[in-house]
Structure 1
Amino acid sequence: MDLWPSLQSFLQSVRAGSFSAAARDAGTTPSAFSKKVARLEAHLGVRLLLRGAKGLELTPEGQELFQRVDRAFEDVEDACMQVTRATEPRGLVRVSAAMDTGRDWLIPRIARFARAHPHVALEVSLSDRFVDLLAERFDVALRVGEFDDGRLMRRRLGRMRRCFCASPAYLRARGVPRRHEELAGHVKLAYLRGTQRDPWELPSGGRIHPEGPFASDNNAGLLQLVRAGLGVAWLPELTIAEDVQRGTLKVLVEHPPDPGMPISLAFPQGRLLAPRVRAFLDFFAEEARTSLHPSSPAAPSPRERR
């Protein structure tokens, strides 16, 4: 015998005070409740309820069963509510991001994320080294550039463009380049990748090798150098956005624009995403719509997830 429907009818009848009242609450007939309770009594071999002048009355056995089953149903309802609450975004999300992109784009948006999801905690690791998400137990990585890792899914956010910039003081002293080719005659601040300096990629397909006296392996360092008027730098728009808005840096020869590098959120594939991770992905994908250049319309690979 399936005891749950009969036990539930028994509880509802006792709480309502009569089969008729219980039936009205449940939208069924009094006989349906009466029959289920009768089957329960037959199964247990004891009388549970008596019909009195004031409605249903519990026998001693019925009283004991009611108290025990009532607590049991409360525990079941509480367990169901706990599971339901567990599907709401809550808990810790561990995030890895490249130093510059994390500092300039991710970190400034965390306060808004916290207001939208107050029960989700974030641990953000900013590093330019390669991070193995699975080995280091990260939930999400903010990646710049293409990557091919069969263990990961990706959600494309947009593209990060770079532009040539200089301080107003430098431009007054050295002149304003009108074409990309004129950059060759300026002091060039280089980005160091190990012991090598990144070449400047021109929209025409050409390259300029920045061999100036100053270089840094960090965009924040280059930003300080270009602010100080020491030369021209090729920096991400995200890095210089506030300076351009304030007028402390000028963007040079904007057209045609740099196509930029793709920015994606990467996460381990083959897992059912926890609500907290899904909340992070959805929030920052929406943020990207208004703050990053859109991705190119190329078809996604089979492992990409938009």
Structure 2
Amino acid sequence: MSSLLNQSASLIAFVRAVEAGSFSAAARNAGTTPSAISKAIQRLEAELGAKLFRRSTRTLSLTPDGQAFFDRVAPLLRGIEDSADAIRPKGGARGRLRVSMPSDLGRLLMGPITTKFLATHQDLELDLALADRHVDVIREGYDVVFRVGTTVESELRMRTLAQLDMALVASPAFLRQWGEPRSTQALRELPFVRYLLGGRPLPLTLEDGTTIVPRGRIGLDTGFGLRAAALHGMGVAHLMKCTVQADLDRGDLVQLMRNQHLPSLPLMALHAFGKLTPVRVKLLSDFIEQEIQQPSIT
């Protein structure tokens, strides 16, 4: 074991080669040569007594032993880097950042993330999954996820970034056919674009505590889909107001029941790093907290 621990440079070279997909790409990222990466991995293979890669002139793939070793070593190496990153007093975001956020929030923030955040942090690689489902942060290997709504996951560290206003919206064509509701009962009788969470329609709760289980011909599992269906006159949609503000301003959608205040929902950042939050996670969370408050978005 002690001799393997002395192979730290070889361990890093191995993980970087797997992540980069080739010795040459790993060498470019590390500022060294493909030959140095290859020799480091050869030393590691000699120490382990096993082949880690299948090598050919065009491809580089892991052997079964290599895959098993990578699955064990990569999280350990990343944990060490994250711990060092968390206690570093200052510096920019760097490394790989795996993120999940709701689809419509991603649509809204994609411009600022690409033109501001990534432009500022040149050493950062961002993997962004736009999905409304509640991903498993730990099992699926996400650094941080952003969710709208309350959640209870004791093993995760949570931070509330904002309280988001909600809105009931429908297209002008839909309202010409069905009429604009003036009461909760009238709203209840309208067809909705149903938001599906875990395959079931998510109930809508009004300010007075009244709960409506939406009914309608179409159910969708993303805010992006709900907005599109509402724009095409399929029904009333319950959405984050910031994601449809431009549609409201253009008159493509109309806000319903404006005298009935809807409960706001928290925008939360969740991660599994505990108190040692990596700098890249903190900086992205800070950035989204700031951007979501901008007048152009809210």
TM-score (norm 2): 0.61
Residue 240 of structure 2 corresponds to residue 236 of structure 1: yes
* Residue of structure 2 equivalent to 1:166: 170
Residue 204 of structure 2 corresponds to residue 193 of structure 1: no
SS at match of 2:292: helix
Change in Cα spacing, 1:187 to 1:150, as seen in structure 2 (3 Å) is closer
Q: Match for 1:107 among 106, 110, 131? A: 110
Distance in 2, Cα, partners of 1:195 & 1:137: 24
* Residue of structure 1 equivalent to 2:276: 272
Matching of residues 32-43 of structure 1 within 5 Å: none
Q: Match for 1:217 among 214, 217, 221? A: 221
* Residue of structure 2 equivalent to 1:263: 267
SS at match of 2:229: helix
Matching of residues 238-257 of structure 1 within 5 Å: 238-257=242-261
Change in Cα spacing, 1:199 to 1:134, as seen in structure 2 (3 Å) is closer
| Bigger CA radius of gyration | 1
TM-score (norm 1): 0.59
Q: Using the aligned pairs only, state the percent identity.
A: 32
What do residues 155-202 of structure 1 show as CA deviations (whole Å, max 9, x unaligned)? 211123322111112222332223333213323322233453223322
Distance in 1, Cα, partners of 2:285 & 2:221: 29
- How much has 1:85 moved relative to structure 2? 12
Q: Match for 2:94 among 62, 67, 90? A: 90
Matching of residues 116-155 of structure 1 within 5 Å: 116-155=120-159
* Residue of structure 2 equivalent to 1:5: none
Check the 8 A contact 2:132/2:222 in 1, yes or no: no
Amino acid at match of 1:169: A
Distance in 1, Cα, partners of 2:111 & 2:193: 26
What do residues 117-141 of structure 1 show as CA deviations (whole Å, max 9, x unaligned)? 2332211122334333233332211
SS at match of 1:290: coil
SS at match of 2:293: helix
SS at match of 2:142: coil
Pairwise CA RMSD of aligned residues? Answer: 2.8
Q: Match for 1:176 among 173, 180, 183? A: 180
Change in Cα spacing, 1:256 to 1:217, as seen in structure 2 (3 Å) is same
